[in-house]
Amino acid sequence: MFPKFLRSTLPSMKESPGVVDLLGVLAYAELSAYARMTEDAATLAPSLADRAALSELAVTEYAHFRLLRDRLAELGADPDAAMTPFVGALDAWHAQTRPTDWLQALVKTYVGDGIALDFYREAARLLDPSIAKLVDEVLVDEGRSQFAVERVRAAIEAHPAEAGRLALWARRLVGEALSQGQQVASARPELALLLMESQQEGHTDISRLFAKLTEAHNKRMAAMGI
């Protein structure tokens, strides 16, 4: 911990208060994803091997949470205080997108992970080098949710009627995420400003960032064959 007047002189401390918000929202996103994926694995997996495979991803999310929390502490921020403003929106997203079967759980894992990775990439573009390193560590695990893609593709090939149902589900996942994101953006203007700056094109319209996220989402949908 550093006295407040010293913090702004720390070489790794970015001036914008939006940085702590960004690390805080990502930290709680990882902590809550870990808990939800663990529960989905325990209650929806068709076999113990599948349960272990999804639990493995959940534990990886927890490891990312640990990196983010430690980074917040190194920056002199209180991790709990940094996460608290985002608990409501992320818990609401999970409550509104509770999967009812294994395929929905896999699609949610891949979609949720994907949106988080998009945010990490934004973060890497604009934050200091030590945070870029953290982002690199997280992105190393990017391929891990590939197993979800393969399972969903195989299920759709075997039962083509599943495609429509899962497409609707994915649309709901991203729709609820954008809706929660809009509320977060208006409640945390500094975070919104930080993410808009990262677009580096002079646009200050949050809908531009959302359009970008939606485009990335559509690519992921195509990868799953839905």
Does 198 bind a second copy (CB under 8 A)? Our answer is no
Confirm or reject binding of residue 16 to a second copy (CB under 8 A).
Answer: no
Residue nearer to a second copy on the CB measure, 138 or 196: 138
Binding status of residue 167 toward a second copy by CB under 8 A: no
Options 49, 158, 161, 222; binder of a second copy; rule CB under 8 A: 49
* Segment interacting with a second copy, rule: CB under 8 A, options 82-90, 135-143, 164-172, 183-191: 82-90
- Count CB neighbours of 53 within 10 A: 17
Nearer to a second copy, 43 or 146 (CB): 43
Residue 176 CB-density burial (10 A; 0-12 exposed, 13-18 middle, 19+ buried) = middle
* Cβ closest to a second copy, residue 37 vs residue 166: 37
Query: From the CB of 95, what's the least distance to a second copy, in Å?
Result: 12
Residue 179 binds a second copy, judged by CB under 8 A:
no
How wide is the angle at C-alpha 151 spanned by C-alphas 214 and 149, nearest 5°?
Answer: 25
Q: Give the whole-angstrom CA distance, residue 182 versus residue 175.
A: 11
The answer to whether 174 and 214 have CB atoms below 8 angstroms apart is: yes
Of 79 and 209, the one with the shorter C-beta distance to a second copy is 79
CB nearer a second copy, residue 116 or residue 213: 116
d(CA 139, CA 137): 6
Does 31 participate in binding a second copy (rule CB under 8 A)? yes
Using alpha carbons, select from 220, 10, 221 the residue that is nearest to residue 117.
220
Distant-in-sequence contacts of 161-165, Cβ < 8 A, 24+ apart: 162/103, 163/225, 163/226
Residue number, 73 or 140, with CB nearest to a second copy = 73
**Is residue 69 involved in binding a second copy (CB under 8 A)?**
yes
DSSP string, 30-69: HHHHHHHHHHHHHHH-SSHHHHHHHHHHHHHHHHHHHHHH
Task: Please tell me whether residue 55 binds a second copy under the rule CB under 8 A.
Answer: yes
Rg (CA), the chain: 18
Q: What is the token pair recorded at 164?
A: 């429509």
Q: Rounded to the nearest whole angstrom, what is the least distance from the CB of residue 9 to a second copy in the complex?
A: 27
Closest contact distance (angstroms) between CB of 117 and a second copy is: 21
Q: Which residues bind a second copy (CB under 8 A)?
A: 28, 31-32, 34-35, 38-39, 41-42, 47-49, 51-52, 55, 58-59, 62-63, 65, 69, 79-80, 83-84, 87
